[in-house]
Structure 1
């Protein structure tokens, strides 16, 4: 890893889980980590319930755009966190991988998305502590 680690969050539509995770990491890490997100079959827009759930905690992901997962992006990332993208996620030797089993917020209201948002925050905080140790 370089001085500034890069983390890529990947889910199928890049509209919910990966966008919330990227939002949390940007918010919590500031400039200490390069944050990326992508999807194996990106949606047209970010999930409105995910946008609202993140807005409730002061994080705006409304301007994010679902992006297609590209080989070069994955190859140049230090950590790849997958969230249900299955075999569509490329595997590169020497990369750190984590697979986060999280409920898909697609089609759910904000009430159902809040617990997913909070679980993602806890996982992002753990990851951040490992990537950028305090002190």
Structure 2
């Protein structure tokens, strides 16, 4: 989640969906995305950066997310701009990835942010998924994408 749900969180969602599918966790992992003050559209430079990896997010729309929705999650990844506070008693594992905002940045800068987002998503899935439950791409396979 992030404030605008127009860049970092959209990339994270797309990578999380890819990891969920690669690992065969479709029946066990639900992915939510949203922002506290959603933008009107996903940043075009983010759409372009993801298209370079054959991930199409052009039709996605930023959406709002509430504290109540996040409290139902096992993990919440914030992008460094979170304005919502979760009650520690909710038992949600919150990760603040403190990423630069891709809005109004050039494609090279967005590629760097994208690489960090992808790495963070893969690492999170590595933490909670059992390798025996599904196949994961090797580092060599990922670098070919």
- Length-normalised TM-score, structure 2: 0.81
Displacement of 1:90:
2.8
More strand by share: 1
Find 1:75's aligned residue among 71, 75, 81.
Answer: 71
Find 1:66's aligned residue among 62, 69, 74.
Answer: 62
Q: Distance in 2 between matches of 1:97 and 1:70?
A: 15
The within-5 A match list for 1:100-119 is 100-119=97-116
Q: Provide structure 1 residue ranges, at least 5 long, that are not aligned to the other structure.
A: 1-9
After superposition, the C-alpha distances for 1:57-80 in whole angstroms (9 at most, x for unaligned) are: 011111211111213311211111
Q: Provide structure 2 residue ranges, at least 5 long, that are not aligned to the other structure.
A: 133-145
Find 1:56's aligned residue among 42, 52, 59.
Answer: 52
The within-5 A match list for 1:20-99 is 20-30=11-21, 31=26, 32-86=28-82, 88-92=83-87, 93=89, 94-99=91-96
Secondary structure of 1:36's match? Answer: coil
Displacement of 1:108:
1.1
Report what 1:18 is aligned to. 9
Aligned residues: 125
CA RMSD of aligned residues (A): 1.2
After superposition, the C-alpha distances for 1:94-118 in whole angstroms (9 at most, x for unaligned) are: 1111000111101112222001001
Larger radius of gyration: 2
Q: Distance in 2 between matches of 1:35 and 1:98?
A: 15
